[in-house]
Amino acid sequence: MDAAISIAVGLGLAAATGMRVFVPLLITSIAGLTGTIEMASGFDWLATTPAAIALGAATAFEVAGYFIPFFDHVLDTIATPTSVVAGALASASVIVDLPPELHGLIAIAGGGGTAGVVQGTTAVVRLGSTATTAGLGNPLVALVELIGSTVTSVLAIVVPILCVVLVAIGLGFALWRFSPGRREDRNRAA
């Protein structure tokens, strides 16, 4: 895998951590175990059976937690900083053939930043769901986030360039949709 493709894989996985922290890490672990993706130097531990088992348990806990009222809000509170760290980790684990300084910069700024932006967007959506449905719509939001995280993780590994393009389009739409200027326009129209 060359550096550009590995960066695309890393950014796609980072975006997926913004929706669910552990799903992309579990998928990365499984892909590394099966030899589907190359792990970066120093991240071979992620492609081990104990790591896959631990990430599987964490994924099950996280997924179940988002379907429990009130507990989903607790998870949202810790998800933002955790997703940034997980995004940096996911990126760093698959970015290969780069000098260490550039590897770290892309993993932290690109991976962590992407995860943070996606997580911020999902938090706004969940807040809107809570406000408009008194939390009754949150399980549907949780399901969509789970599916989105899973699909994005798989796309990042199978077709990384397409994944990055789709993530960029999705983030562009979200930034446009939730921009303060657009909100002011809606308020004036109402």
Encode pLDDT of 41-77 as tens digits.
999 999 999 999 999 999 999 999 988 877 887 888 8
CA-to-CA distance for 66 and 144, rounded, in angstroms? 11
CA-to-CA distance for 190 and 55, rounded, in angstroms? 47
* pLDDT higher than threshold 90 for residue 21: yes
Specify the pLDDT at position 1.
Answer: 67
Specify the pLDDT at position 70.
Answer: 77
Those residues whose C-beta lies under 8 Å from the C-beta of residue 52, and which sit 6 or more positions away, are 26, 29, 30, 33
Share of the chain above pLDDT 90, in %: 68
Tokens matching residue 135: 């939390």
CA 72 to chain centre: 17
* pLDDT higher than threshold 80 for residue 187: no
Q: What is the pLDDT of residues 119-157, one digit of tens each?
A: 998 988 888 888 899 888 889 999 999 999 999 999 999
Those residues whose C-beta lies under 8 Å from the C-beta of residue 182, and which sit 6 or more positions away, are 176
Q: Is the dihedral of CA 23, 81, 62, 141 positive or negative?
A: negative
CA-to-CA distance for 147 and 96, rounded, in angstroms? 28
